[in-house]
Amino acid sequence: MTKPNDDHREELLNLEPSDPRLRDRHQKAIADHLEKFRPGFGTIRYAAVGLAGLVGALVCGSLSLTEPASTPMPIRALLALFALIGLGWSVFAGWGLARRRGDYAAERALAAKMAFGFTLAAVMGLSFASSLTGKDAQGAPLIATGLGLLVLASVLLTNARIEQAELAIREQILRLEARLLDRN
C-alpha cells in the first residue's frame, strides 16, 4: 500500500459536503478549482462553432426562403432542416460561452449527442429528398458521406460516455480517499 499524500488533505476535506450548509460551499469550491483548468482556447472554440452555425443557418435559411418556385419542395425542406441544424449549433455555443463552468465531459457528451442526432436527421433528410425528387444516383454520394459521418459521431458519443464514466469513478475514489484521510 502506498503512503497517502498529505499535501492536499485539508483541501480535500473542505470539499466534501457533510451537511446541507456546506453543499453550496462544496459546489463553489469545485467550480473555482475547475476554472483554473479551463483551456484558454475553449472560448475561441465555442465562438467558432457558434459563428459557423450562425453562418450556416443564415445561408441555408435564406436559400430556403428565396429559391425560385421551380425548386422542388423537398429541396426547400432540406435547406430549412440544415438551417435548423446550424441554429442548434449556435445555441449550443452560446450556452457553452454563457455557462463557463468547466464540466468538459458533460459538454462533450452533449455535443456528441447533438452531432449524432443532427447527422442522422441530415442523412434521413437527404435520403427522403433524393428519393422524392427522383435523383437517387445524385444523392448517393452525399448519403454515403453522411453515413460515414454518422459512424464518426457514434464513435465520439461512445468516447464521451466512457470519459464521463471514468470521471465519475475518479470522483468517487477521491471522496473515499478524503474520508479515509479524515479517519487517520
Helix (H) or strand (E) holding 40: none
Average pLDDT over residues 49-70: 92
Q: How confident is the model at residue 57 (pLDDT cuts 50, 70, 90)?
A: very high
Say which residues have a Cβ less than 8 Å from residue 100's Cβ, sequence separation at least 6: 35, 38
Whole-number percent of the chain with pLDDT over 90: 37
Same domain membership, residue 153 and residue 105: yes
Higher pLDDT, 96 or 90: 90
Same domain membership, residue 172 and residue 151: yes
Same domain membership, residue 33 and residue 53: no
For residue 13, give its domain range: 1-37
Higher pLDDT, 64 or 40: 64
For 38, 139, 163, the CA distances from 34, given in Å and listed in that order, are 7, 46, 16
pTM recorded for the entire structure: 0.69
Q: How confident is the model at residue 107 (pLDDT cuts 50, 70, 90)?
A: confident
* pLDDT one-digit tens code per residue, 118-169: 999 999 999 988 888 888 888 888 889 989 999 999 999 999 889 888 888 8
> What's the total number of domains in the chain?
2
Same domain membership, residue 138 and residue 78: yes
Same domain membership, residue 55 and residue 12: no
Q: For the chain, what is the mean pLDDT? A: 81
Average pLDDT over residues 20-43: 64
Same domain membership, residue 89 and residue 11: no
Q: How confident is the model at residue 180 (pLDDT cuts 50, 70, 90)?
A: confident
Same domain membership, residue 151 and residue 66: yes
126/107 Cα distance (integer angstroms) = 28
Same domain membership, residue 56 and residue 19: no
Residue 13 has pLDDT above 70, yes or no: no
Same domain membership, residue 56 and residue 24: no
* Residues 107, 46 contacting (CB under 8 angstroms): no
CA 44 to chain CA centroid, Å, is 15
pLDDT reported for residue 30 = 67
